[in-house]
Structure 1
Amino acid sequence: MKDKLHLLLDNCIEKGSEVDLSALAHVLEGFQKKIDNKYTQYIDGLLHMERKIDKEKKICEIKVPLNEVWNNSLDIVHGGITATLLDTVMGTAINAVLPEGFGAVTNQLNIHYIAPGIGDSLHCKAEIIHHGSKTVVISGEAFRSDGKKIAHATGTFFIIQK
């Protein structure tokens, strides 16, 4: 496996443009942070997530730096990346308030895209609307670095026993 990775990396470094190499460095830095146990999940490392949780207010916030690697063909953040961030911030908010031995999984996710994801970073925030015994309803918002809202989401999550 190491030989294969060395060949891939050497090929990318040899043939990649400056933009390609910047994107590769961004991804590898995230993997390095996961390997160094600064993140528990690969997705956190890949997106360089900074999380802030307020269990009392039932709010979670995530901030990520933007990089070309997440852009679509229009050179804006791919909607799937925005969806992943919103799903993550909402799920994290819920999981932070659940009792030991329980977790939450997405049942339904609705996203309204409002503006293009551009700038230096995205900031997402989620707040629990209703916390029942089997489901949780939550809302989330994504903002770009200039403060413009780019997406609004609502979700329903199932509470399950781990």
Structure 2
Amino acid sequence: MTNKMIEKNEIVNRFNDYLGIEFLGLDEFGCKAMIRIRPELMNSIEGMVHGGVTSALADVVMGHGAAPPINGLQQCVTVENKMNYLSPAKGSVLFAESKVIKRGGTLIIMEAQVTTDHGELVAIATGTYARVKKSD
């Protein structure tokens, strides 16, 4: 993946902004992003990130990698995804990286890995994404 830096205003998504997702790279092969962990992203177990945060981060990098935003607007929606949680998400930052597995006319199959700032593999995900057409 080329490490094209993504400017904040290149991707318009209030949910991503709310979570604090920062984009590190995006090209036709996938996407890289990170999220800085803060107390409100934790579950009730001390020091552990809520699984929904991990899942959201994986979904975001897969969706953006499947069909990169144009003029800040997303170009696909999630059809389905699956998460395998491998270890607790602990640390100060989570990183996610996606790659295209198969690109079809409308559907794109993606894979993502989520790791901690210590390099520990937290989760792997697969997903199917559908291109959306702008209504006229």
Residue in structure 1 matching 2:88, options 116, 140, 147: 116
Larger radius of gyration, structure 1 or 2? Answer: 1
> Can you give the 5+ residue segments of structure 2 that lack an aligned partner in the other structure?
1-7
Confirm whether residue 73 of structure 1 aligns to residue 56 of structure 2. Answer: no
Distance across 2 between alignment mates of 1:68 and 1:152: 23
Report deviation, 1:54.
3.6
For residue 50 of structure 1, report the CA deviation from its aligned partner.
1.6
Partner of residue 22, structure 1: none
Aligned to 2:25: 53
More helix by share: 1
Post-superposition offset of 1:91:
0.5
* Counterparts of 2:74 and 2:51, CA distance in 1: 30
| Higher strand fraction (1 or 2) | 2
Q: How many positions carry a matched residue from both structures?
A: 124
Given the superposition, is the C-alpha separation of residues 60 and 120 from structure 1 closer, same or farther in structure 2, using an over 3 Å criterion? same
Instruction: Name the counterpart of 1:154.
Output: 126
TM-score (norm 1): 0.69
Aligned partners of 1:137 and 1:123: how far apart in 2? 20
Cα offsets for 1:117-147 (capped at 9, x unmatched): 1101000000001000020000001001110
Percent identical pairs in the alignment equals: 27
What is the 5 A alignment of 1:125-144?
Answer: 125-144=97-116
SS of 2:54's partner is: helix
If asked which structure has higher relative contact order (CA below 8 Å, sep 6+), I would say 2
Task: After TM superposition, give the deviation of residue 45 of structure 1 in Å.
Answer: 2.1
Cα deviation, 1:85-117, whole Å, max 9, x if unaligned, reads 11001101112188xx98211111000000101
- Unaligned runs of at least 5 residues, structure 1: 1-33
AA in 2 matched with 1:153:
A
CA RMSD of aligned residues (A): 2.3
Q: Deviations 1:67-91 (Å, cap 9, x if unpaired)?
A: 1101111131111111111100110
* SS of equivalent residue, structure 2 residue 88: coil
TM-score, length-scaled by structure 2: 0.82
Q: Aligned to 1:41, which of 2, 7, 13?
A: 13
1:85 to 35, 52, 57: 57
